[in-house]
Homo-oligomer: A and B are copies of this chain.
Amino acid sequence: MNYLHTMIRVADPEATIRFFEVLGLKEVRRMENEKGRFTLIFLAADEDMNAPGERAKAEVELTHNWDPEDYGSGRNFGHLAYRVDDIYATCQRVLDAGYTVHRPPRDGHMAFVKTPDGISIELLQNGVLEPAEPWVSMPNTGSW
């Protein structure tokens, strides 16, 4: 069997796509369903670390229901995790784009950020970087 995707529901698909683009994911296809009044958008890492030059097979599916609803949140779902080549560069892009790094990579290895709907994304460095500023001194923000 094969893992295909994790589906999350999003209030503002374009805001969510912008967020994931900062991390390194891109839209790969989209399906609009007029009758069901929803849009499905699939994102994937532009290049899979395990298969250089190939788009990643693992996807995130964004479900956008056209009629607004409060999706709420629970603790049963934790996060999506990605390995990155340079966690400092990724977190800097996140900050530059105006998002919060909720758990900065003080240890050169692990960080948490959140989508516009508050879904936690774990970033894990491929290996470990030397601890470095401004990350070492950066406090946590909220929960993740």
Of all chain B residues, which has the CB nearest A80? B6
Are A4 and B82 neighbours in the complex by a CB distance under 8 Å? yes
Against B, the Cβ 8 Å flags (1 = close, 0 = not) of A40-71 are 00000101111000001110010100000101
Question: Please, which residues of chain B bring their CB within 8 A of the CB of A77?
Answer: 6-9, 73-74, 76-77, 119
If the complex has contacts A73-B74, A74-B73, A74-B74, are A79 and B7 also in contact, measured as CB distance less than 8 A? yes
Question: Please, which residues of chain B bring their CB within 8 A of the CB of A1?
Answer: 23-25, 45, 47, 49, 56, 82-85, 90
Are A69 and B76 neighbours in the complex by a CB distance under 8 Å? no
Of all chain B residues, which has the CB nearest A124? B4
Instruction: Report the Cα distance A57→B72, complex, angstroms.
Output: 30
Rounded to whole Å, the gap between the CB of A89 and the closest CB of chain B is: 11
Asked if A30 is at the interface (CB within 8 A of a chain B CB), the reply is no
Asked if A75 is at the interface (CB within 8 A of a chain B CB), the reply is yes
Are A7 and B69 neighbours in the complex by a CB distance under 8 Å? no
Are A9 and B78 neighbours in the complex by a CB distance under 8 Å? yes
Question: Please, which residues of chain B bring their CB within 8 A of the CB of A85?
Answer: 1
If the complex has contacts A50-B2, A81-B5, are A75 and B72 also in contact, measured as CB distance less than 8 A? yes
